[in-house]
Amino acid sequence: MEIAKVTSKGQITIPIDIRKKLNLKDGDKVIFIEEGDKIIFANAAKVAFMNIQKAFEGEAERLGLKNEQDVVDMVNEIREEMWKERYENND
């Protein structure tokens, strides 16, 4: 367990061990999540990434993406389609 003191401005210094565990660097943002009578403190970027992962869960299978090359191929196809829409049909 780590303890931090709150200043008169409401600031705290996050102990180094906690910063390391959360992979926090200078300028990173943190998030406070209320869960019942507890407040959870977390790295905001990690929470956002986890939410994105959850939102995309099952999408790779639905799109037939089995490996990294499938993703690269799909991105290339989309880029080609976008290029055609923008430049080939502009006579």
Please name the amino acid found at residue 80: E
**pLDDT, position 87:** 87
**Is the pTM higher than 0.85?**
no
- Mean pLDDT calculated for residue range 19-44: 94
Name 22's bridge partners.
none
User: For the chain, give me the number of helices (H) and strands (E)?
Assistant: 4, 2
The highest-level CATH class for domain 1-57 is mainly beta
Kindly report, residue by residue over 7-22, the tens digit of the pLDDT.
Answer: 999 999 999 999 999 9
Query: 2-14 burial by CB neighbour count: b if 16+ within 10 A, else e?
Result: eeeeeeeeeeeee
